[in-house]
Structures are given as C-alpha cells and as structure tokens.
Chains A and B, each alone.
Chain A
C-alpha cells in the first residue's frame, strides 16, 4: 500500500476506554498501527455523550454535543473510528439523524455557530470492528496472522449498539445473529463457542448501572452463568462499557448473588484488538496484556494471567 493510499482515521476515545481500561486504548492504537492505518487524535473531544444516559436526560443536548464531536473529525477530513459500542451508538445515530432530518441539522448548526463550528455530515462514524471487517476486510487481515491459538474456547459478546438499531447500522439489517465478530475471533485459530442467549445485553447500558447496580449485576450473572456453562476459557468483547460490566461485574455478581452462583466467577475478559494483536505477533506489553505496576483497585479486576498462560506455547 503506498503512502497516499494509507488509511487514516480520527480516533474517538470516549470515556471508559481511556479513563478506566487504558489497555483497550493501547491495543487499538497498536493494532491499527501494525495494520498500516494511521490514527489521528481528536483533540478536545468530549463524552460522546452516552446514548442511554445523557440522551435520556435531554435529546437536544445529546445531539448537539455529538455533532460537535463529529465536527472535530470533519476538520481532519477523515472517518471516525471508536472502540466503544456506546460512543458508536451515539455518533452513528446522531450522524444518521442529522443527515436525514434537515430541520435538526439546521437547529444544531445554529448552536454550533455560536462556538465557531459547523456540522457538515461528510464523514462516517465507524466502529473499529467495522473498520477492520469492512474497510480492511478478512482477506487483508488474514495475512497478518502469525500465531494461531489451538485450544482456546471463546465466548464472544457483541453488545447491543454495535448491531442495533439495525436500520442505522452497516450490517445489512442483521441483528438477531451476526457473525462478523466470531469470524475475527476464529481467524486467530480460537473457537467461538455457542452459548445460551449469546446476544443478550451485559446490563450496563441505558443508565441502568448508575440507577441500580444490582440489576446490572443480575444481567451479568445470567450472561456469565451461560458462558461458564458452555465451558469458555475467555470472553471477547468489543465495547469498554460491556468490558467493565463483564469484568468488574463478575466481582459484583460474586458478592451480590454469591449464593446463586456457587463457585465465584473468574473468567478473563479480553478486548478484540488484544486478541488480534497477540495473533499478529505484536508485543503483549503494547497490547496492555502485561501488568506493569503495583496499583491497587484498578482494572482488570479479574486476572487475565490464566489466558496468557494458555496461549504461552503458541506465542513462542
């Protein structure tokens, strides 16, 4: 690929990845760099704002702040990538609304004009998985696979907003049973296993986690029980908020629903670019897979060492 054709993306960070799970941010940067895609910083971006929380408080605020974030990428002249289903939900839905409803675009631009900005609608907000699967494509990615994992059983968790609402998503209307994330996982040699209610929500979104943590933890309890029953070694996801809910949520489910759960949950939760990066032969340090600190009370809350042990042989 020559330099002129080099893929460039504006990287929308959001909140949970940079501020709670920085290993996710590191791994996205490392993998995109490795794949020859350039990441441009969206200087001064804010919270997306979260679709189930801030949108639920005041839709116009949600729309105008989302539009402001999109204008930062418009100035850079490239499409947005985000690693978060929530941010994707907001940026993609706002983009869709603004590009389909001229009266909303006019309203938003009246406010943006006060801070010297204008929403044009000439770039597309994408999920990193969308950029990998659709822009680069499986054939392109497959050439980068260096290590194949033989006995790794993976419970794939899509999350909700990467596929729904399906009329505003790029997956051809598929939402009941998508396969793109499984295909990316299986490209590494790992096995994506079937489990009950695979496409069920993690429970964190829609302001539920902030409203009643126990309800969110009960979603996770059900999901994690199904994952454990199916014999998964690890969980692979593509959203930092699901990631938080499935990682920290194991501790919460263990403490709130201990009697129902029995043996406490301890399933390592790995982000998709961490798995892909390992398979591509990227240094695990760059993928945030090696703990390099003595900090207490930080992520990941469920140790991922059992996963690193399991794939150790294949990495050498």
Chain B
C-alpha cells in the first residue's frame, strides 16, 4: 500500500496548482495531500466531528480544491489534535499536521479568533507562559502553590526576566512579532469596515 502511495505522489503531475492553499502545502513538503482519495476515514475517526460541523474530509477537500473560504471557517479550530485521523489514514497522509498547517495559512491571512489572538499576543508573548501565574489576577494560584510547599512562582521565565527577554528576542527574530502585528492590523481594518457598513445601513 505504501508503495502505491509513493507512486501516486511521485507520478508526473502538473507542478503548479490553481489552489493557492494546496500550493502552500506542497511548498511546505506536505505534498502527500495529493494522495487523498476522500475516503472519510478521518471524519469517521474524529471525536470533534461527532458533535460539531467540523468534517476533516471536507476541510481537506476544500483545501485541495482551492476553496479559500475554508480559512475563515471556525471548523478548522475545532480539531482537538487527537491524531486519530493521522494514525488511521489509509493513504498515510499526516492529516493532523495538515490541519495545523492550514491554521498557519489562515493566521497569515488574519483569520484567528479573538480568544486565540489574546492568548498568543497578550499572554504568551508577554509572559512566556500560555497559562501564567504572575500578576494580580493570579494571586490565588501562587497561594495555592505555597500551600503545597512550593515557591509562589516556578523556576521558569516567571522568575527569570532575562529568560523571558530571550524568548521575546527569538519570537521577534523568527517573525512571530511581525505576524501578530500584521494580524492586529488586519483585525483593526476589518473592525473599521464593519463599523462603516453598520453606519451606512442606518
């Protein structure tokens, strides 16, 4: 089976693709997406799809076909990355990695939920933790640590300001700061347009 997949991926195909999204997958070394036969094993294994409108098979198909509306769809943020689709795909496509990559493409275009943006921009970048224990609002958690005989803050970036600076340095260098600033700009522009449209409606 695996030989077939290799043959399928390596077959002579038109290198370009009309799908901007599919091209980004191919550029990122995730060309295996081409081997998808839309069998639906991913959707059938998906615990999120049991309760939401998220259909892995449909998302992958839309990405392949170049339906860019998939990037704005909240569905792509409902994958809990349990990796069943990745493990069970009969074509050996790393499906979960595809979803992660698709989210990267969405964020590049400014499609990120406000709650995720706050988490990335205001919490992770500012504190170095995804779930911090510093600041006034988190006093109870520091007290809880102490009640179990631990120091109020762990020996992480929380107690090493120079280490936090180092992380921020790296995030600037790798392009995270720029990405977040760009997302903020797109979001501000969208807000303005929305306000304008609402005014005109009135």
Interface residues of A (CB under 8 A from B): 13, 15-16, 18-20, 22-23, 25-26, 41-47, 49-61, 64-65, 68, 111-112, 114-115, 160-161, 164-166, 175-176, 200-201, 203-208, 210-212, 215-216, 218-219, 222, 285-286, 288, 291-293, 295-299
Q: Is the CB of A201 within 8 A of B128?
A: no
Q: Is the CB of B169 within 8 A of A58?
A: no
Interface residues of B (CB under 8 A from A): 47-48, 50-52, 74, 77-84, 86-87, 94, 96, 100-101, 103-104, 107, 112-113, 115-116, 119-120, 124, 128-133, 138, 140-141, 143-145, 147-150, 154-157, 160, 162-164, 166-167, 169-171, 173-176, 179
Q: How far is the CA of A57 from the CA of B108 in the complex (A)?
A: 8
Q: Is the CB of A206 within 8 A of B148?
A: no
The minimal Cβ–Cβ distance linking B5 to chain A, given in whole angstroms, is 15
Q: Is the CB of B87 within 8 A of A164?
A: yes
Specify which of A115, A160, A211, A299 is in contact with B169 (CB 8 Å cutoff): A115
Q: Which residue of B lies closest to A112 (CB)?
A: B170
The minimal Cβ–Cβ distance linking B202 to chain A, given in whole angstroms, is 31
Q: Which residues of B contact A60 (CB under 8 A)?
A: 174-175
Q: Is the CB of A292 within 8 A of B131?
A: no
Q: Is the CB of A18 within 8 A of B154?
A: yes
Q: Which residues of B contact A54 (CB under 8 A)?
A: 120, 124, 130
Q: Which residues of A contact B120 (CB under 8 A)?
A: 53-54, 57
Q: Is the CB of B157 within 8 A of A295?
A: no
Q: Which residue of A lies closest to B97 (CB)?
A: A165
Q: Is the CB of A41 within 8 A of B155?
A: yes
The minimal Cβ–Cβ distance linking B26 to chain A, given in whole angstroms, is 16
Q: Is the CB of B157 within 8 A of A298?
A: no
Q: Is the CB of A59 within 8 A of B133?
A: no
Q: Given the known A-B contacts A54-B130, A164-B87, A292-B147, are A210 and B175 also in contact in the complex, defined by CB atoms under 8 Å?
A: no
Q: Which residues of B contact A204 (CB under 8 A)?
A: 80
Q: How far is the CA of A112 from the CA of B84 in the complex (A)?
A: 34
18 A-B residue pairs with Cβ-Cβ distance under 8 Å, sorted by A, are A16-B131, A18-B145, A19-B131, A43-B160, A45-B155, A57-B112, A64-B173, A65-B171, A111-B170, A160-B82, A161-B81, A176-B87, A200-B47, A201-B80, A206-B81, A210-B113, A215-B52, A296-B140
Q: How far is the CA of A200 from the CA of B164 in the complex (A)?
A: 36
Q: Given A46-B163, A211-B78, 19 other A-B contacts at CB below 8 A?
A: A18-B156, A19-B132, A20-B133, A22-B141, A26-B148, A26-B149, A26-B150, A42-B156, A44-B157, A46-B128, A53-B116, A56-B107, A160-B83, A164-B84, A207-B116, A208-B48, A215-B48, A222-B50, A293-B143
Q: Is the CB of A58 within 8 A of B130?
A: no
The minimal Cβ–Cβ distance linking B11 to chain A, given in whole angstroms, is 24
Q: Which residues of A contact B101 (CB under 8 A)?
A: 59
Most buried by A among B48, B107, B170: B170
Q: How far is the CA of A177 from the CA of B194 in the complex (A)?
A: 50
The minimal Cβ–Cβ distance linking A215 to chain B, given in whole angstroms, is 6
Q: Is the CB of A61 within 8 A of B149?
A: no
Q: Which residue of B lies closest to A13 (CB)?
A: B154
Q: Given the known A-B contacts A57-B103, A59-B104, A68-B170, are A299 and B162 also in contact in the complex, defined by CB atoms under 8 Å?
A: no
Those 10 A-B pairs whose CB atoms lie nearest each other, nearest first: A44-B163, A206-B81, A164-B83, A19-B133, A44-B160, A293-B147, A18-B154, A201-B82, A15-B131, A56-B103
Q: Which residues of A contact B132 (CB under 8 A)?
A: 15, 19
